[in-house]
Amino acid sequence: MFCICCQKNNVTPSNYLGTTQSEEEKLWQNEGSRTIDNEMVNNGIIQIIEAGYGSIHDGDQFIIAICDQCIKDNLEDATLLYFGNYMLGDLHGDIEKSKKLFRRRNNLDDLT
């Protein structure tokens, strides 16, 4: 799948355990609790995001991908914000670091 940042086709669902589903089948898989959200992915993240109230896309769901390199780059300038690690918590203080970068970027934007 194409990364939403660099536009390269380098994020792919894994074919672990010898599964034979195509990439397209995995992206739109919706069998009970099985969706792309809980599939293994190579070289980045693929997730279904939902537009909330207030968006012109209210209620719509989209499949997006972002590659590992773009995650790294966009975390550094607060274009992407770190929310935590659902398995381990915030072991390294990355949430506070992200908040600090967010405040700095917002303050710089307000100055210009």
Do residue 6 and residue 31 come from a single domain? yes
Give the C-alpha separation, 62 to 68, whole Å. 19
For 105, other C-beta atoms within 10 Å of its C-beta total 14
As a dihedral over the C-alpha atoms of residue 106, residue 86, residue 73, residue 75, rounded to 10 degrees, the angle is 10
Do residue 58 and residue 105 come from a single domain? no
Name the region of 60 (left: φ>0; alpha: ψ -120 to 50; beta: rest): beta
pLDDT band at 15 (very low <50, low <70, confident <90, very high): confident
Q: What is the pTM of this model?
A: 0.85
Do residue 59 and residue 5 come from a single domain? yes
pLDDT band at 9 (very low <50, low <70, confident <90, very high): very high
pLDDT band at 89 (very low <50, low <70, confident <90, very high): confident
Asked if the model's pLDDT at residue 25 lies above 70, the reply is: yes
Over residues 90-100, mean pLDDT = 92
Do residue 5 and residue 57 come from a single domain? yes
Number of domains in the chain: 2
Do residue 25 and residue 50 come from a single domain? yes
Do residue 7 and residue 58 come from a single domain? yes
Write out the residue range of the structural domain in which residue 51 sits: 1-68
Pull the structure tokens for residue 32. Answer: 């009970």
